Amino acid sequence: MKIHKEGRRILFVTLLVLLALNLLVFNLNKGADLVNRLFAGATVIVFLLILQFFRSPFRHLFTHEDLLLAPADGKVVVIENVFEPEYFEDERKQISIFMSPINVHVTRNPISGLVKYFKYHPGNYLVAWHPKSSTQNERTTVVVESDAGPLVLFRQIAGAMARRIVWYVNEGDEVSQGEEFGFIKFGSRVDVFVPIDTEIKVELGQKVKGGETVICQLKVK
């Protein structure tokens, strides 16, 4: 287990602020040992909660050109055929994974290939399960031409708590399955759009691990 680079500055600043608050409370409440201990305990809990947001556990990664791996830890909340308007402008199969505040927030490439399209969209911060969050929230869209051939679109979506999306890919990049392509601070959701004839390997409500759980298999012609 290690702390992700996106959290190091936040954790350092948080630690300084909490230490300063503890010193202030202790000075204002000299002799009130119970109050001071309760406040110190509360700040430790706050720091640990923020710390777990930025954990980055080791994953046993494997690669296979026609299998898609989960891009994030979380729960499968959508499996359905939808119209994808941004890039494909046709019907695709959508798989959505909801990342709660207690999940790992690293996002990983579900497939190896060439990045054909990338775009960042500023937006709102609706709750991640809101039907319009995919098109109205802050988000990034990545389209990869997989080594197997089919194009795969995946999208980071910020939620009500998440206010910062980080990405490490750009158009023209070669990406490897399972490697990090970004981070959503304090969680949210990742959508994956694949061809209609793709075979789904997960079920609604299933918990998945980013970079490890196979979510679907592409149809290779």
pLDDT band at 125 (very low <50, low <70, confident <90, very high): low
Whether 134 shows a pLDDT value over 90: the answer reads: no
- Amino acid 90: pLDDT: 94
User: Residue 135's pLDDT is what?
Assistant: 62
Q: Annotated catalytic, 188?
A: yes
> For the residues 43-60, what does the mean pLDDT come to?
78
The pLDDT of residue 96: 94
Query: Which of 96, 134, 146, 188 is labelled catalytic?
Result: 188
What is the percent of the chain where pLDDT is above 70? 89
pLDDT of residue 129: 54
Q: What is the pLDDT of residue 160?
A: 58
Burial 122-156 (b: 16+ CB within 10 A, else e): eeebbebebeebbeebbbbbbbbebbbebbbbbbb
Mean pLDDT calculated for residue range 18-40: 83
Mean pLDDT over each residue of the chain, to the nearest integer: 85
Cα R_g (the chain), whole angstroms = 20
- pLDDT bin (cut points 50, 70, 90) of residue 7 is low
